[in-house]
Structure 1
Amino acid sequence: MSAELFKIVVVGFYVLLTLWLSWVGMRKTRDIKGFSIGNKDMSPWVIGITMAASVSSTATFVINPGFVYVHGMSAFVHYAVAGSAGIMCAFLLLTRRFRQLGDDSGAITIPDWIYQRYQSRSLSTFFALINLLSVAFVVLILVGCSLLLSQLFPISQTWSLTLILLFVFSYVLMGGSYAHAYTNTFQGVMMIGVALFIFVQGFHYFQGDVLGSLRSVGENYVSIFNPDSSLYYSFFSVFFSGFVVTFALMMQPHILTKMLYLKNDGDVKRFLWSTFLSGTCFMLMLSVGFYARLKGMDVPQQDGVVVSYITSEFSNVSWGPYALVFISITLLAAGMSTLDGILVSVSAMVVKDLYQPFSGKGQFEHGRGLLLSRVVLVAVGLLAYVVALNPPALVGLFAQKGVYGLAAASMVPIVLGTLLRQPPPVVVAWASAAVGLVVHLLCTFALGVANPAVSATYAIVLSALTAAILMLVISFKNKNPSIDSELYSTSVENPVDNSSGVEFK
């Protein structure tokens, strides 16, 4: 079979299998709850692989190896060690309790969970609005995937963009969370296979001595704290910020809502194991940065390191074109695995947390919420398509640095709402969210902090301090009967008695 025919066969198989899985998902999707989080009947192994694929995506498979190529061991430790630790701690700490609270309240989105926990419609609306900015990532993933498809086939980027848009939105439109989970499991298995293959195939560049080979590039290149790096040069920038920010990034709607897919606490352990094992395999893709450097490649644009490496590595062997086809499709799948999750979460949020509360309609009639979610999905697709045809220069900057702002705003309210037996006063959640978002934006755009992980860590630390100080002040006032505690009411909407102070479950 020729390489061209093999390409058509593999792409056709991928498309047909994805659409079939979406059709299977559509048969199980009957209302907005099923569209958003399923009907609690998915295997925890499927949910775990779906979670890992959503977390890893294009960043791990395409972007982050470029940082390793440029900055060396310090970047590898930042993403593979500190980042993985942040992910693991977030899931171990939050999964069981977050799932229980969501199951008890019937929440189907993150803003809905916020409303059920804090009983504040204004706070819920704030979270829904700031998370709408995820549309910028839809644009970026569409653009990145269209570039990859236009390299795989001799078609223009505009046609590539159109085909990817129609493909992804059609299968998500059909099955919602089921389509997302089933296709992500399929895509995740592909990603695991390619990550293991590329890692093993290129391991010979270390020549049996990993540190010695990297030291040949430069003494600082093998340093955990690289003095030549503008991003990864200290314990704070390598370890602390990597851990804190990655922990906070797990608060994103298309990631955290996966915990609501689980049926009961018995599923949590298997979910965590499948997530961690899959994620560990995905992290092996970071080694491509080392391989490209040891191979002596000169790649002027670090985002192109992975594509340049696989093209150079497999173009001169007889089976290389076949490997390139499969790897390229897997890189496309890596982008789609995050794209479809964002689409499901955004469309559900618009209907459940923005339209329904302010429409005065109360509960939806059977099937109406599902219909509206699909209408919103089409609207998001058209908007993303128009922007992606000619993306503004600032979209990329916002998508890279803005996501950390969302994480900085979300982390403290969600963590406190999850870990405390009684949620803190709403004023604490509001203040910590506002401080997290504003401080990150100030550090990034006004104070010139180069590493967005560092600026977000500053913001999260100040957000946590703000919450701690407010909770201490409120606790003190509540214990002092001579002071009017009404000044520190949790909210006009639903005052909460937290006189007992902080209590962990």
Structure 2
Amino acid sequence: MSAELFKYLCLAAYGVATLWLSWIGMRKTRNIRGFAIGNRDMNPYLIGITTAASVASTATFVINPGFVYVHGVSAFIHYAVAGGAGIITALLVLTRRFRALGEAGGAITVPDWIYRRYQSRSLALFFALINLMSLAFVVLILVGCSLLLAQLFPISQQTALVLIALFVFSYVLMGGTYAHAYTNTLQGVMMLAISVLIFVTGWRYFEGAPIEALGTVSQNFAAWANPDSELYFSFFSVFGSGFLITFALMLQPHILTKMLYLKEDGDVNRFVGTTAVAIVCFMLMLFVGFYARLNGLEVPQQDAVVASYIAAEFGASETCRYLLAFIGITLLAAGMSTLDGILVALSAMVVRDIYQPLSGGRPFQEGRGLMLSRVVLVIIGIIAVWMAYDPPPLVGLFAQKGVYGLGAASLVPVLFGILWKNAAPAWQVGSAAIIALAAHLLFTFVAGVSNPSISAAYGILISVGYFLILQLWRLARASRQQPVSTGA
């Protein structure tokens, strides 16, 4: 069997396995609740791998190694060390309490959870609307996957884009959350194998001395903060902003709702442990940026670093081309593992948290909510493909500007809604969310801050400070209003 034929067979096998798992998921999906969060009958280890695959996605496996290739150690610390710490901290802080509150209130989406926590339909509607910014990340994934598919097969990037969109949207249409979870488990296992394989095979470029090897590129390339970089040049830009925004990004609907899949508190530790281990393994893919630089590859398009590296590293011989085929399909799977989760979350949210309240709030007849979710999914797909057909030069920064704004706006309402026993007034968390989003947009588009994680982190810090000041004011006002007891 030739390597070329093996490549086509790998793609066909992956496609058949994915559609089969989606068909299994479709048999379990009978209403919008099952479409959005399943029936709470999934294994916590499966949910952990699904969550890790959703978090990693095309950003970690395709786009972010390009930042490491250009900016060096500072970018690696930003995404792997600070980002990994933010992810694991968020899992430890959020999972148990968010799951318990969501189960008690019967929430199936993040805006639905916010409505039940703060008893404010307008606040929930606001969050549903700003969650549409997740479309920016859908565009990133579609572009990253289309670059890979065009590298693997003799088709144009635009053709690859349409084929990927048709495939992913079709299997998500079938099974919703179950299709997403089952296929993500398959994709996650493939991603674990390839991330470790690529990390091990490329280690030889360091020649036993990683820092010294990176120093041959340039002294600043090997520095923890790169003064030549407009993105990662200080402790805050490298670590502080990376930690804050990654913690906040764990509040995205397609990630946070995974905690609602868990059946009971006893599943939480297994879920968190599985997710953390898988995330650490996935972060090994960022070493590709170092390997490509030390290999001497000249890659004019930053977003194509991974595709160029695997072609150069594994395309030299007939035997290696067999491995190249499997790696390429796995990298495609990495993108689809997040894309399908975002699509499920977005479609359920548009129906449950935008359409239903605006149409009078009447409960859906059996099956109608599921049908509407699928219709919305098709509309989202058409919009996403249109946006990805002619993407901006650095699609990674484009996606970050949108998604980081969503993360910044979500932090105060979700984090303090989880941590505090009594919910704050809706207007206070709502105004804090607006301040965070507005600050992010102002720092990005008016002040000219190049790194979206910095502008989003500024927005987070300002909104948290504003919110805490309001709480101190509330406490002071309450203490003044308490009656003063007098002695007999």
TM-score of Structure 1 vs Structure 2, range by shorter chain: over 0.9
User: Cα offset for 1:394?
Assistant: 10
SS at 2:305 equivalent: helix
Separation (CA, whole Å) in 2 of partners of 1:15 and 1:142: 17
Which ranges of structure 1 fall in alignment gaps of 5 or more residues?
A: 484-505
Structure 1 residue aligned with 2:453: 453
Structure 1 residue aligned with 2:155: 155
Asked if 1:387 corresponds to 2:387, the answer is yes
SS at 2:243 equivalent: helix
SS at 1:19 equivalent: helix
Separation (CA, whole Å) in 1 of partners of 2:55 and 2:116: 26
Asked if 1:366 corresponds to 2:361, the answer is no
Separation (CA, whole Å) in 2 of partners of 1:201 and 1:151: 21
Separation (CA, whole Å) in 2 of partners of 1:406 and 1:299: 31
SS at 2:135 equivalent: helix
User: Cα offset for 1:319?
Assistant: 1.3
Separation (CA, whole Å) in 1 of partners of 2:395 and 2:276: 31
Instruction: For 1:220-259, list aligned pairs within 5 A.
Output: 220-259=220-259
Deviations 1:41-60 (A, max 9, x none): 01111111111111111111
Separation (CA, whole Å) in 2 of partners of 1:361 and 1:233: 50
- With over 3 angstroms needed to count, the CA separation of the structure-2 counterparts of 1:361 and 1:448, relative to structure 1, is closer
SS at 1:45 equivalent: helix
Q: Is the 8 A contact 1:37 1:258 kept in 2?
A: yes
Deviations 1:132-183 (A, max 9, x none): 1222332332233223222322233343223212211111001000000110
Structure 2 residue aligned with 1:42: 42
Q: Is the 8 A contact 2:139 2:399 kept in 1?
A: no
Separation (CA, whole Å) in 2 of partners of 1:282 and 1:97: 26
User: Cα offset for 1:396?
Assistant: 6.8
Structure 1 residue aligned with 2:23: 23
Structure 1 residue aligned with 2:486: none
Q: Is the 8 A contact 1:431 1:466 kept in 2?
A: no
SS at 1:108 equivalent: coil
Aligned identity (percent) is: 64
Separation (CA, whole Å) in 1 of partners of 2:351 and 2:78: 37
Amino acid at match of 2:204: H
Q: Is the 8 A contact 2:147 2:307 kept in 1?
A: no
Q: Is the 8 A contact 2:205 2:294 kept in 1?
A: yes
- With over 3 angstroms needed to count, the CA separation of the structure-2 counterparts of 1:13 and 1:55, relative to structure 1, is same
Separation (CA, whole Å) in 1 of partners of 2:187 and 2:47: 13
Separation (CA, whole Å) in 2 of partners of 1:411 and 1:441: 16
Amino acid at match of 2:181: A
SS at 1:219 equivalent: coil
Alignment root-mean-square deviation, CA: 1.7
Structure 1 residue aligned with 2:201: 201
Structure 2 residue aligned with 1:129: 129
User: How many residue pairs end up in the alignment?
Assistant: 483
Which ranges of structure 2 fall in alignment gaps of 5 or more residues?
A: 484-488
Q: Which moved more, 1:162-171 or 1:219-228?
A: 219-228
User: Cα offset for 1:269?
Assistant: 0.6
User: Cα offset for 1:378?
Assistant: 1.6
Normalising to structure 2: TM-score of the pair? Answer: 0.96
User: Cα offset for 1:476?
Assistant: 1.8
Runs of 4+ in structure 1 deviating by more than 6 angstroms, as ranges, are 392-396
Instruction: For 1:312-351, list aligned pairs within 5 A.
Output: 312-351=312-351
Q: Is the 8 A contact 1:205 1:291 kept in 2?
A: yes
Structure 2 residue aligned with 1:33: 33
Deviations 1:20-48 (A, max 9, x none): 00001011111111000000001111111
User: Cα offset for 1:461?
Assistant: 0.3
SS at 2:216 equivalent: helix
SS at 1:26 equivalent: helix
Q: Is the 8 A contact 2:58 2:145 kept in 1?
A: no
Structure 2 residue aligned with 1:492: none
Q: Is the 8 A contact 2:36 2:108 kept in 1?
A: yes
Amino acid at match of 1:364: F
Separation (CA, whole Å) in 1 of partners of 2:361 and 2:124: 18
Structure 2 residue aligned with 1:89: 89
Q: Is the 8 A contact 1:44 1:271 kept in 2?
A: yes
Q: Is the 8 A contact 1:172 1:344 kept in 2?
A: yes
Separation (CA, whole Å) in 2 of partners of 1:202 and 1:391: 31
Amino acid at match of 1:53: A
User: Cα offset for 1:200?
Assistant: 0.5
Structure 2 residue aligned with 1:495: none
Separation (CA, whole Å) in 2 of partners of 1:162 and 1:403: 23
Structure 2 residue aligned with 1:75: 75
User: Cα offset for 1:371?
Assistant: 1.3
Structure 2 residue aligned with 1:353: 353
User: Cα offset for 1:107?
Assistant: 0.2
- With over 3 angstroms needed to count, the CA separation of the structure-2 counterparts of 1:159 and 1:222, relative to structure 1, is closer
SS at 1:221 equivalent: coil
Structure 1 residue aligned with 2:479: 479
Normalising to structure 1: TM-score of the pair? Answer: 0.92
Separation (CA, whole Å) in 2 of partners of 1:147 and 1:203: 25
Separation (CA, whole Å) in 1 of partners of 2:161 and 2:217: 39
- With over 3 angstroms needed to count, the CA separation of the structure-2 counterparts of 1:392 and 1:312, relative to structure 1, is closer
Q: Is the 8 A contact 1:196 1:284 kept in 2?
A: yes
User: Cα offset for 1:259?
Assistant: 0.5
Amino acid at match of 1:416: F
- With over 3 angstroms needed to count, the CA separation of the structure-2 counterparts of 1:196 and 1:340, relative to structure 1, is same
Structure 2 residue aligned with 1:501: none
User: Cα offset for 1:230?
Assistant: 1.8
User: Cα offset for 1:393?
Assistant: 7.3
User: Cα offset for 1:229?
Assistant: 2.1
Deviations 1:119-138 (A, max 9, x none): 00000000000001222332
Asked if 1:274 corresponds to 2:263, the answer is no
SS at 1:233 equivalent: coil
Q: Which moved more, 1:306-315 or 1:175-184?
A: 306-315
Amino acid at match of 1:278: A
Asked if 1:190 corresponds to 2:177, the answer is no
Q: Which moved more, 1:435-444 or 1:225-234?
A: 225-234
- With over 3 angstroms needed to count, the CA separation of the structure-2 counterparts of 1:83 and 1:269, relative to structure 1, is same
Amino acid at match of 1:281: C
User: Cα offset for 1:397?
Assistant: 5.4
Q: Is the 8 A contact 2:187 2:330 kept in 1?
A: yes
Q: Is the 8 A contact 2:147 2:304 kept in 1?
A: no
Separation (CA, whole Å) in 2 of partners of 1:59 and 1:156: 22
- With over 3 angstroms needed to count, the CA separation of the structure-2 counterparts of 1:98 and 1:231, relative to structure 1, is same
SS at 1:316 equivalent: coil
Structure 2 residue aligned with 1:499: none
Q: Which moved more, 1:294-303 or 1:459-468?
A: 294-303
User: Cα offset for 1:358?
Assistant: 2.2
Asked if 1:296 corresponds to 2:296, the answer is yes
SS at 2:300 equivalent: coil
Separation (CA, whole Å) in 1 of partners of 2:239 and 2:151: 37
Q: Is the 8 A contact 2:25 2:179 kept in 1?
A: yes
Q: Which moved more, 1:185-194 or 1:321-330?
A: 321-330
User: Cα offset for 1:389?
Assistant: 3.5
Amino acid at match of 1:384: A
SS at 1:232 equivalent: coil
User: Cα offset for 1:4?
Assistant: 1.6
Q: Is the 8 A contact 2:120 2:426 kept in 1?
A: yes
User: Cα offset for 1:446?
Assistant: 0.3
Q: Is the 8 A contact 2:151 2:307 kept in 1?
A: no
